[in-house]
Amino acid sequence: MKTILACTCLFATASHAAGPIFLSDYLGAPTGTAAVAANPPYTSIPNGALPYGFGVDCPGTFASSQIGFQDAGPFAKGIGQHPFQSGQKRIDFDLGAIRVHTTYDLAVFLARVGVDLSTSTANNGGVFTVLVDNVVQSQTSIGGRNSPSIPVAVSVVGASQLSLVTTATGQFNSNHLCWGIASVSLIGGPCPADLDGDRLVNDEDFSRFARAYNILDCADPAMPADCPADLNDDQFVDDADFTLFVVPYNELVCP
């Protein structure tokens, strides 16, 4: 009988893919004036509430088609924001909630900003602001849907929060200010034993491994999605996986 004590902690869904991670696939709980809904990624307008952000791959009431700019697109992934009557919208992304879905380091926020060609009026533009831990790192102005889109790249290495803010210029209505291919690129090699995505293999990871070890079978509904503690990919979390886990655990830092 196994003797490792199970814990009651939450589990990461670790991925071994090198990314990038698209923000419209974000699995955390977004906050801010442009993320008032409980169902990410910002798919529709709830009960007459003011419009908020929407994922290009899950269009909502104010985005019946994919985001596209006059010089680029349409995009398969991205985030749209509709400042509407307030004139400004903001989405805050908890980068910790993204880290637990990858075994790589978060590196750079990447996007191409512009005004959606198909759903905006000609003279309505906006300002795109990127904040990292509440410090402005980038600010870009777009005149309108006929203006060229502009690439944005901002480092998020070691950061806790990424915030996307759009501020309307011109009329408030039909300002569809969009972050095409909004994503976070990844760096560094995989560290499968890092089950919480903090680039350390420590007691928190041990607790997560212990819970999975007690469940054993990756097919068990109680097992975290994708069975991240199954380090040898044999569909079981057992002594063979513990042998692989204990080496980086003793070293603490991911290779």
Which pLDDT does position 77 carry in this prediction?
78
Which residues does residue 168 pair with via DSSP β-bridges, in sequence order?
126
CATH code of residue 146: 2.60.120.1060
Asked if residue 7 lies in contact with residue 22, where contact means CB atoms within 8 angstroms, the answer is no
Taking 70 as the threshold, does the pLDDT of residue 57 lie above it? no
Q: Which tops the pLDDT comparison, 169 or 89? A: 169
With vertex at residue 133, the alpha carbon angle to CA 53 and CA 184, rounded to the nearest 5 degrees, is: 60
* Residue 54, phi then psi, degrees to nearest 5: -140, 145
Looking at the fold, whether 87 and 163 belong to one and the same domain comes out as yes
Looking at the structure of the chain, the number of domains it has is 2
Q: Which of 142, 168, 187 is the last residue of a domain?
A: 187
Which pLDDT does position 31 carry in this prediction?
52
Strand pairing report for 88-94 and 125-132: unpaired
Looking at the fold, whether 92 and 108 belong to one and the same domain comes out as yes
| Structural domain that includes position 126 | 21-187
Taking 50 as the threshold, does the pLDDT of residue 86 lie above it? yes
Count of CB atoms situated within 10 Å of the CB of 46: 14
Looking at the fold, whether 8 and 26 belong to one and the same domain comes out as no
Which of these, 114, 106, 104, 42, lies nearest to 73 by C-alpha position?
Answer: 114
Position 157, amino acid: V
Q: Which of 131, 165, 187 is the last residue of a domain?
A: 187
pLDDT confidence band for 137 (50 / 70 / 90)? very high
- Token readout for 74 is 């349409």
Q: Give the model confidence (pLDDT) of 238-255 as tens digits.
A: 998 998 899 888 887 666
pLDDT confidence band for 186 (50 / 70 / 90)? confident
Looking at the fold, whether 9 and 26 belong to one and the same domain comes out as no
pLDDT confidence band for 61 (50 / 70 / 90)? very low
Looking at the fold, whether 114 and 9 belong to one and the same domain comes out as no
Which pLDDT does position 118 carry in this prediction?
74
Q: What is the mean pLDDT of residues 35-52?
A: 37
Taking 80 as the threshold, does the pLDDT of residue 171 lie above it? no
Q: What is the mean pLDDT of residues 43-56?
A: 38
pLDDT confidence band for 233 (50 / 70 / 90)? confident
Q: Which tops the pLDDT comparison, 118 or 12? A: 118
pLDDT confidence band for 64 (50 / 70 / 90)? low
Looking at the fold, whether 205 and 181 belong to one and the same domain comes out as no
Q: Which of 187, 208, 243 is the last residue of a domain?
A: 187
pLDDT confidence band for 104 (50 / 70 / 90)? confident
Q: What is the mean pLDDT of the chain?
A: 74
pLDDT confidence band for 132 (50 / 70 / 90)? very high
Looking at the fold, whether 97 and 168 belong to one and the same domain comes out as yes
